[in-house]
Chain A
Amino acid sequence: MAKWGMVIDLEKCTGCQACTMACGMENSRLPGEHWQDVIFYNEGEYPSPQVKWFPRPCMQCENPSCVAVCPVRATYKNEDGVVLVDWERCIGCKYCMVACPYGVRFYTEEKPAYGGPDMKQVFKGEQGRSWNPPWRMPDSKEDWKHGVGVQPHDVVSKCTFCYHRVSKAPKGTADLDPSNPALREFTPACVVTCAPSARFFGDLSNPNSEVSKMIGNKNGVRLLDHLGNKPQVYYLTGVGGAVPSNRATNKA
């Protein structure tokens, strides 16, 4: 079994949001409902203000609080270390959203996050889907047991590490490198699309994987590590990058 994880090099990330767009197209996200997002935030005050950005997918935690709190076991961690939601079990209680420290879970039934028009009304859902985006993935790839595709009404959704791609990767693959044509179609969309190649995806349990080596050699750090959720997404800060030490709330 693999233990899929991601490494994001913050010195390379330009904050272009291409990953956010690619994720939205790949996973049929509602506008504003970003499974993958680049958070912009500011720290410090005049004369030393800092404007920063920070790419934030689901952290796919080793100790996911969302899994522990789900009263119906709809959220679970699969054998490859990915946290998924079974949309056929989810009761929409939103406890996982309350318990997630990273704010990466989304409830279907909400007012438009971006102010409208409401895409769910413009593209009305069919066959149990909450809406019917014109760019949605082929029906054959939709997999509600693993939270893949356009979600039904009244459930919670989240980043799946592109489960529909990654789960098809050849067994024993150490790294899913998008520059390798043989592996590209198994690599998460955000990693494939990242123009400055700031994202890396591989097996954290494999000592020979590039991601394992990068974390070890370049001091990979995790977001809000003090909470003990142990994300499987690591960040390389180098000289110019920084991981927010708190919720990235404007304290000024």
Chain B
Amino acid sequence: MIAIREPKDFAEVFKYLGELRREVGTAEFLRICFNLGKEPSAAGTWWKLCLVLGAASGLFVLTMLITVGHASFNTSSDGINWGIAISTYVFFALTSSGLTMIAALPLVFGFRQFQPVAKRCIYLAIITLVAGFSVLALELGHPFRMLWAMPTGMQVQSPMFWMGVFYSIDLVLLIWKFYLIWQEDWDSPLAHLLGAASFVCVIFASGMLGMVFGSVAMRPMWFGSFTSIYYMLTAALSGAAAIVVTSYMAYDFNRNRMPEPLKALAESPDLPKVFATLIGIALVMILTRFWTGLWSNLDGMEGFHALVRDPLFHAEVWLGLALPFWMMLSPSMQTQPGKQLIAAFLVLGAMFINRYEFIVGGQIVPMFKGNWVSSLISYTPSLTEWALTVFGFAMALGLYALGEKVFHLSAVPDQAVYPEPAKA
């Protein structure tokens, strides 16, 4: 019987797939590929769902882009320039950065109790970044032109240029780092160097993504160095939420199926404490941002008044952040698997709303359009834009399921010694 898990390289993958096809025939081979294995599994179910969802949404987006072009988006020169596609990209890019930050806890800062999630974090950071880049590429007018125009232009004044530079370096470092962990190299000097470089890189990358918005003085709802800090810290929060959700997802939302090291981490209050701290920081930052926004009479800040009247904003703050904050602080709830999962799902949802509300909300005050656009701009994403968002999520989740099936994402170094988990 042929089986594959943790192949040494891609050659081994293709060799295995070729042999499998010869052994079972093409039809059966395709069925196995669609099911992501011969036996049903949690990863296989997610893979199938995402394959269907991704193919449907991706084909729809491509058809619309080919037949109608970007006019199928509800963005406009007199309205919202950057819509939900950009906020989805930002959501994925920052989640990726956050996952790298969480991975840095054991890999850079020596908190070994977080080692069971390190490999999964790195893998997820890669695929969320790839999903984000894919959504961005479909939003851009000329994505392929960017590949030569950016390095030949060298516009070092542009935050977007540096965002591209740092996220590209980040992706390379992440893949390299994952390769080393795949080869079970956790502790070599190169592995440590890569871990540290990768951490520094995502700090710059997420900060520079914040600066894309924070550097534009004519958009006062975004302007200021606060935005970079806000992006870095909320990135860590969405990374923490993503790793909790996916760790449970890998074991069919059942903690008892987890391997011992991961189970020990899930049962200890360490991760909930980190999680609660990050939610608390995000809440304080949102409070101060809206406080100054609502207080200020500065031209262009009127959008804050509209945002607080939006039910989505309240869903984000109360349901998506305050409730999980309380759940993860409470000693009786913080280690319960159900509560951890609900908190993580709510926070992920809140972060998605947060990116949307930040990016679209920052543009709702019209930019010198007079009575042609005399009130705050209303924007609803088009079906194509929603499909692009769904495509991004299907891609991230599908690739995650694939990784879960092929790699041992809960792997820990053999010689690892775990501190006794703290009791709740």
Contact = CB atoms under 8 A, between A and B. Distances in A.
B160 A65 contact: no
Contacts of B71: 109-111, 118, 120
Nearest to A38: B370
Given A41-B371, A248-B369, A110 B77 contact: yes
A113 to B, nearest CB: 6
Given A103-B78, A103-B369, A110-B77, A91 B158 contact: no
Interface in A95-109: 95, 97-103, 105-109
B153 interface: yes
Contact of B159 (A69, A92, A224): A69
Contacts of B218: 65, 99-101, 224, 227
Interface residues of A, number: 53
Contacts of B82: 94, 98
Nearest to B154: A73
Interface string B33-77: 000000000000000000000000000000000000111011111
B140 A248 contact: no
Interface residues of B, number: 48
A103 B366 contact: yes
Residue of B154, B158, B219 ringed by the most chain A CB atoms within 10 A: B158
Contacts of B149: 72-74, 89, 91
A97 B164 CA distance: 19
Main secondary structure of the interface of B (DSSP, over half): loop
A68 B157 contact: yes
A92 B140 contact: yes
A103 B76 contact: no
B158 A98 contact: no
B299 interface: yes
B158 A39 contact: no
A33 B370 contact: no
22 contacts: A40-B371, A41-B370, A68-B155, A69-B158, A70-B155, A71-B150, A71-B153, A73-B153, A92-B70, A97-B77, A100-B367, A110-B77, A111-B74, A113-B76, A113-B77, A153-B141, A154-B69, A155-B141, A224-B368, A227-B217, A227-B218, A249-B366
A-B pairs, 3 with minimum CB distance: A92-B141, A154-B141, A39-B370
Interface of A: 33, 37, 39-42, 54, 56, 65, 68-74, 89-95, 97-103, 105-111, 113, 118, 120, 153-155, 224, 227-228, 244, 246-251
Interface of B: 69-71, 73-78, 81-82, 140-143, 145-146, 149-150, 153-155, 157-161, 164, 212, 215-219, 299-300, 302, 363, 365-372, 374-375
